A and B are shown apart, each in its own frame.
Chain A
Amino acid sequence: MFDVFALGPTGWGDEMLMGALMTVLVSTSSLILGILIGIIFAFCKLSNIFALKIIANTYTTIIRGIPELLIIYLLFFGGSGAVMYIAKIFGYDGYIELNAFTIGTIAVGAISGAYSTEVIRGAVNSVHKGQFEAGKALGLNGYGLYGSVIFPQVARIALPGIGNVWQITLKDTALISVTGLVEIMRQSRIAAGSTHEPFIFYTAAIILYLIITRLSNILFDKAENTYSKGYVSKEAI
Chain B
Amino acid sequence: MRYELMYESFFKIAEGVPLTIQLVIISTILGIFLAIAVALMRISGNKLMSAPAYYFVYLIRGTPLLLQLYFVYYGLSQFEFIRESILWIILKEPYWCGVITLTISTGAYSSEIIRGGILSVSKNHIEASGALGLSQVKTFLLITLPITVRQALPAYGNELILMVKATSLISIVTLMEITGIARTIISKTYAPVEIFLVAGSIYLVINFIIVMLVNLAERRLGIEKAT
Binding site for B on A (CB under 8 A): 61-62, 64-71, 73-74, 76-78, 81, 167, 171-175, 177-178, 184-185, 188-189, 192, 196-199, 202-203, 205-206, 209-210, 213-214
Closest A-chain residue to B70, C-beta based? A202
Closest B-chain residue to A213, C-beta based? B62
Query: Could you tell me if A192 and B74 are in contact, using CB atoms closer than 8 angstroms?
Result: yes
**Nearest-Cβ distance from residue B215 to partner chain A, whole angstroms:** 15
User: Of the candidates B67, B187, B204, B207, which one forms a contact with A205 in the assembled complex, judged by CB atoms under 8 Å apart?
Assistant: B67
Q: Does B168 contact A (CB under 8 A)?
A: yes
CA distance A174 to B70 in the complex (A): 11
CA distance A213 to B64 in the complex (A): 11
CA distance A198 to B203 in the complex (A): 32
Q: From residue 187 to 220 of chain B, which have CB atoms closer than 8 A to chain A? A: 187, 190, 192-193, 196, 199-200, 203-204, 207-208
List B contacts of A172 (CB < 8 A).
64
Count of interface residues, chain B, beta-carbon cutoff 8 Å: 41
Interface of chain B: mostly helix, strand, loop or mixed = helix
Whether A77 contacts B70 in the complex (CB less than 8 A), given A199-B75, A210-B62, A213-B62, comes out as no
Q: From residue 160 to 176 of chain B, which have CB atoms closer than 8 A to chain A? A: 161, 164-169, 171-172
List A contacts of B203 (CB < 8 A).
65-67, 70
Closest B-chain residue to A75, C-beta based? B192
Query: Could you tell me if A171 and B196 are in contact, using CB atoms closer than 8 angstroms?
Result: no
Query: Could you tell me if B66 and A198 are in contact, using CB atoms closer than 8 angstroms?
Result: no
